[in-house]
Amino acid sequence: MRRRSAGAVGYARPVGNGEAAGPRHVASGTAHGNWLTLGKDGRLTLYAPTDGGLLRWSETAVGGPAWSGPHFVAVADLTDLTVAQGADGYVHLLGRRQRTGSDGARSVDIVHAIQYQTGRAVTDWRSLGNPHKDHEQGRGLGVPVGAIASDGTVHVFVRSAGRGLMLRREAPNGKWKAWEDLLGSGIDAPPAAVALSGGRGEVCAAAETGVWMWRQAEAGGSFATPRGFALRPTPGTVAALETGPDRATYFWTDAADGGTVAWRPGGWPVALGPAPAERPYAALRTALDGYDCVVLACRGQDGTAVLGVGGTENEANGFWWYALPERCQGTPALARDGLGRVVMALIDPDGVPRLARQDEGAGLAFTRWQRL
C-alpha cells in the first residue's frame, strides 16, 4: 500500500441546513458505531459527541472536498453517542443519557433520534427508557448499540446492570416493543451487532467466560438463547462485518497475545497480526484492484491510527498493517464516498475531524489529510 506524507488542507465551512453552527464546539471523542455515513444523495456525514450534545459535518457536494459544519445538536446530559445506519440510508442516533433530578437522584435512560436526509435537522429525541425500574440499578446500564434490519426495523442492544444483554426493537406498526431480556452474563463492554442483508441479526459480546453469540433464526424472529464459546477477546474491541451472504465475520484483539483475530462461528479464530485496539475496530468491505477486501482501522497503543488490509474471508493468505503518523482519539471511521473511494476519518487530539480519501493507483493509497 502506498502512502503519502500527512498534510492538512483547509476548506471553508459554509453553514447549510441544520441546527446551529459555531467554532466554539469541538469533539470530545468519537461516537460508537459507524460515525461516518453515506446518504442516499451520495454525500458523507460525520458525527461526533461534544459537551452538551453532538456535532455534525456534511459534504456540500458528492465526493467533496468542501464540507458544511460543524452543526451543533443539543442533547443535554448525554454520556455516550452511537450511530447506526440502515439500508434505506436513514441514520439512527442513539444515546445514553444520565440526568440528575431535583432531589439529587441520578437516572439513566436511552434516547433515539433519526436523520432522514443529509444535512437536514434530526427528529425530536425520544426516550426509550431503561429496562431497570430501580434508578440505582438502572445507573449500571451500558452503552446502546444499534442494528437496523433490512426492512428498517431498529434494534437497540444494551448491557444490563446485571451484565446480561437487553433488547428493545420496533414493532411492525412503528411503535416500540417492551424491553426483552436476551440473557447472557459477565458482559464487560458494548456488544457488536450486525444486521445481515438477508434480514437476520446477530450479536457478539465479550464476557468473563469467553464469547456470547445471539442469532435470529429468521428475519424478524426472536433471538435464540445465547451460545457461549471459549474464546478470549479483549473487552471493548469486538467488531462485526458482513463478509458473505447472510454471514458475518467478527474481529477483536486477543486477550492472550494482543494480536488481532478474525472469527466466524463454526471455525477457529485466525490471527491477523499485531495490531491491538482499545475500542472496536472500524471495518469496511470493498474492492481493491479487483479483489474483495476487508479494511480495518484502529487507534494503536502509541495513539496513532493504524490501518489493515486483507482478502475477505481469506485471512490465512495474509493481512497487511500500516502505522499512520496521524494521532487520534477513539476509533477511526471508514466509509466509501459517493464516488466509491475509501474514506478514513479520525478525531485528532484537539477534537477536530480529519479525513483522507483513497488516491488513484494500485492498492490503497490516501490523499493528503483534510482538516474539517
Domain assignment present for residue 1? The answer is: no
Question: In CATH, what number is assigned to the domain containing residue 36?
Answer: 2.120.10.30
Domain assignment present for residue 2? The answer is: no
Contact at 8 Å (CB) between 80 and 49? yes
317 — phi, psi (to 5°)? Answer: -85, 0
279-311 pLDDT tens trace: 999 999 999 999 999 999 999 999 999 999 999
Across the chain, mean pLDDT equals 92
Fill in the amino acid letter for 116.
Y
Domain of 140, in residue numbers = 9-371
Which pLDDT value is given to residue 174? 87
308-337 pLDDT tens trace: 999 999 998 999 999 999 999 999 999 999
Which pLDDT value is given to residue 269? 96
Which pLDDT value is given to residue 238? 97
3-state secondary structure at position 193: strand
The Cα 50–Cα 33 span in angstroms is 16
Q: What's the whole-model pTM score?
A: 0.92
Question: How many domains is the chain partitioned into structurally?
Answer: 1
The Cα 48–Cα 284 span in angstroms is 19
Domain assignment present for residue 119? The answer is: yes
Q: Calculate the CA 171 to chain-centre distance.
A: 24
Domain assignment present for residue 300? The answer is: yes
CA count, 13 A, side-chain hemisphere, 120: 14
Domain assignment present for residue 3? The answer is: no
Fill in the amino acid letter for 355.
L
Residues 221-243 as b/e (b if ≥16 CB within 10 A, e otherwise) read eebeebeebebbbbbbbbbbbbb
99 CB burial (10 A radius; 0-12, 13-18, 19+): exposed
Domain assignment present for residue 72? The answer is: yes
The Cα 370–Cα 130 span in angstroms is 40
Q: Give me the helices (H) in the chain, please.
A: 135-138
Q: What does 261-303 look like in DSSP terms, one character per residue? A: EEE-TTS--EEEES---SSPPEEEEEEETTEEEEEEEEE-TTS
Domain assignment present for residue 137? The answer is: yes
Domain assignment present for residue 13? The answer is: yes
244-281 pLDDT tens trace: 999 999 999 999 999 999 999 999 999 999 989 989 99
